A and B are shown apart, each in its own frame.
Chain A
Amino acid sequence: MRYSIFSLARQALSGHRNWQPAWRDPEPKPGYDAIIVGGGGHGLATAYYLAKEHGITNVAVLEKGYLGGGNVGRNTTIVRSNYMLPGNVRFYEKSLQLWENLSQDLNFNVMFSQRGVLNLAHSDAQVDAFARRGNSMRLHGVDAELLTPEQIAREVPALDLANARFPVYGGLMQRRGGTARHDAVAWGFARAADGLGVDIIQNCEVTGFRREGGRITGVETTRGTINAPKIGLAVAGHTSRLAEMAGLRLPIESHLLQAFVSEGVKPMLDHVVTFAAGHFYISQSDKGGLVFGSSLDGYNSYSARGNLPAVEHCVEALMSLMPSAGRLRLLRHWGGVMDMTMDGSPIIDKTPIEGLYLNGGWCYGGFKATPGSGWCFAHTIAQDRPHYLNSALSLDRFRHGEVLDEERSGPVPNLH
């Protein structure tokens, strides 16, 4: 059923008793043309674009838990393409362009809100660095605007710009950036992929790979063996564990990131704002809660359970930036497992094993990449080679010294 004002009116007249489930709950078939492991945003988007762009509809998405129950349902929902390195900026800009028409494309309101993403600078050197990044973005056809403290004070009055320790010297604004409703992204891609014939199989954990002469031929799962000549991994957070089953060792560590939501208040923050002095990012959700987060907890972890020093660091940054938020109570906070690569940039590529494809290493920036990642990964799987847009996000870039290190912090995952 297509969602529209007419379908809504028709259902209203029958008392909303005839809505159909948004996707089927099929039993796994013995074989498919392609299997995507991981029913989060990236896996579902990959299946959708495989069906839509490449006509491969005999596809299964295998999800260990429930659909969208991982990081796609728990993040700070920021969407932007304000990267500096060419290999990154072209990829993230493609993703942002897909976001701009995603609700219409999926026939599902993902509530994409281009409210602008503002990075604050706290020293002359940071202003220079932002000007350089803004110029790089504009050379790639991406919008970027350098704002003065006076312009920022006018647009974002809630900020303390004259903070004694971290005064604001300026900011880089990407007005096409913003936020989206994270659950709706998972549900929208699932519904659209299902509508094109993709089987979404939940509660189905992959326990091993089937191989024949070095080639992947299928997966062992908790719901039986499923065969497919092409298998894509989209299990960021747990990529190393799946890769280990296939005998691969990767340039990835799993780390812990926390995020927070305050109680709901009236509109006080119209944009996404980042505080560069302490690595902190904040926006206000449509329900009114302030949604914010900061750096990693700092050590390898699969626990999805955060520590208190990281909470304190994050709240200190909030109080430096927006002292008025000190009266708010936290509604909830959560921790998730992040695939941290050695250079802070993701991987979408083939692997040395024929038939096995890898999408991972999203660090803590995977949400914004969801449509672009699915689009590029679908191309990589269908054509058996990376697209130009993800050609720099290769697995062997580390071996060849072609790392994409935006933060210039070296091969230390917990510093990215």
Chain B
Amino acid sequence: MKLPCPLCGSRALEEFTYLGDASVTRPDPETETLDDWYAFVYLRDNPCGRMHELWQHSGGCRAWIVVERDTLTHEVFGSELARDRNTRERAA
């Protein structure tokens, strides 16, 4: 499997480190409850199909990226810098 790094282009899997589901969000410190932390740390959707995931290009430019990938077919649909996605989502 190869992953597209927005900065370096298509690179081999061995250059990347996996963190996991990019859809989980850290609880808001203003409104957090213990249940929010439980969900953030432990609970996952674990989809069979398209999934957004956090990877780090640790053997390359060291950027954190969000990759959209199919967990059943391993087809990769694209990627963007995690920072860009974060900025966009906050604006939205």
Q: Which residues of A contact B (CB under 8 A)?
A: 238, 240-241, 244, 249-254, 298-303, 305, 307, 309, 342, 398-399, 411-414
Contact = CB atoms under 8 A, between A and B. Distances in A.
Contacts of B44: 240, 249-253
Contact of B46 (A240, A298, A309, A411): A240
A300 B73 CA distance: 11
25 contacts: A240-B45, A244-B45, A249-B39, A251-B43, A251-B44, A254-B46, A254-B48, A298-B18, A300-B20, A300-B46, A300-B51, A302-B71, A303-B71, A303-B73, A303-B74, A305-B74, A307-B1, A309-B12, A309-B13, A309-B14, A342-B41, A398-B42, A399-B38, A412-B20, A414-B20
B74 A250 contact: no
Max chain B CB contacts within 10 Å: which of A250, A298, A302? A302
B53 interface: yes
A245 B13 CA distance: 33
Contacts of A250: 43-44, 46
B71 A249 contact: no
Interface of B: 1, 12-14, 18, 20-21, 38-39, 41-46, 48, 51, 53, 69, 71-74
Contact of A249 (B13, B45, B69): B45
A298 B13 CA distance: 10
A353 B70 CA distance: 30
Contacts of A411: 41-42
Contacts of A249: 39, 43-45
A240 B47 CA distance: 8
A398 B1 CA distance: 33
Given A249-B45, A342-B42, A299 B53 contact: yes
A21 to B, nearest CB: 34
A185 B44 CA distance: 32
A168 B43 CA distance: 39
Contact of A252 (B41, B46, B71, B72): B46
Contacts of A303: 71-74
Contacts of A301: 71-72, 74
B48 to A, nearest CB: 5
A337 to B, nearest CB: 9
A244 B46 CA distance: 10
A250 B46 CA distance: 9
B42 A251 contact: yes
A299 B74 CA distance: 10
Contacts of B51: 300
A300 B51 CA distance: 9
List 3 A-B pairs, minimum CB-CB distance, nearest first: A240-B46, A251-B42, A398-B42
Nearest to B37: A399
